[in-house]
Amino acid sequence: MTEKIFYTLLEKHFSTLYSFLFVIFVHGQDLEPRVYANVPKDLNVVGFGYAYLDGNVLTEPSLPISDFKIQSHNLLATYVRTFGIANKLARVQVALPYSFMDGSANVSGDFITGSRTGFGDTKIRVGVNLLGSPALDRSEFRNYEQKTIFGISLVTSIPTGKYYGDKRVNIGTNRWAFKPEIGISKRFSQVYAELYGGMWFYTDNDDFLGKKLEQKHTYSLQGHASYYFKNSMWLGFNTNWFFGGKTITDGVSDDSEIDNWRIGGTFSTPIAKGQSLRFQYHIGAYTNNGLNYYAITAAYQYSFF
């Protein structure tokens, strides 16, 4: 069938896809180790990455939809800058994704397909380490050993993504989202343990199929344990959990609340001075609703002062 028929049938039968795609492009990226790590001030990090996502969308058994699958090829550009505020280490991070998404499903006995391509929503993280992480220059940082760090951040999702008001399936969300977050990082010899907790808040989407779409806040929790080798290579275990996010369309609530838990691993290795490669794999450990997927990412980072 044609793409137009694909999305028309999904819009008719599948009322909660919007929140599921938000999970893909926002929560799915919330497996970021070393966000509150201590590093020198005035550091710049430029990164380019690729991520492949593949999964099945879980729908209510009563709906005439089966074998609903989504695959996504994603490119990501990031920039991080560290600086000092009142002798505390602070940083700002900007991330811009570009996605190629394909979907297929069996709807009422018909096999249908469709696709979307374009920029996703921009994410900006601004944070400061309040305890255990002074703003040090390169010469001072060489003699500093991290112990316990406590920091805070604000993550903002800006609606720069491609969006069609008459389509339910989109890459962009057409609304702002904000996540205040607290984080703790503790060093145990060559192991770094981290725990972050936050909550996503959303503005309304006033152009959703001619209706107003609201979304309740979503709780977010993630943890990391990373082992560092002497040559700056490191290996990490990652997990995150997010709960909530029920959607309301023109005042009518639906069964779209999510309760998802993901696990994965990260490997990073230096390849030259100031350059490194990072690989990550994560998969759903539990998914009550929405997209149950696995993701493989590869990224190149270049650091300079």
List of the chain residues with pLDDT < 70: 1-29, 58-65, 290
Q: How far is CA 287 from CA 14, 114, 263, in A?
A: 17, 24, 12
pLDDT at 15: 41
Nearest C-alpha neighbor of 144 from the set 156, 131, 134: 134
pLDDT at 59: 61
Q: Structural domain boundaries of the chain?
A: 3-304
Q: Is the pTM of this model over 0.85?
A: yes
Sorted by sequence, the CB contacts under 8 Å of residue 128 that are 6+ apart come out as 85, 88, 89, 90, 91, 151, 152, 153
pLDDT at 26: 53
Nearest C-alpha neighbor of 293 from the set 7, 15, 17, 24: 24
Instruction: Specify the CATH class of 3-304 in words.
Output: mainly beta
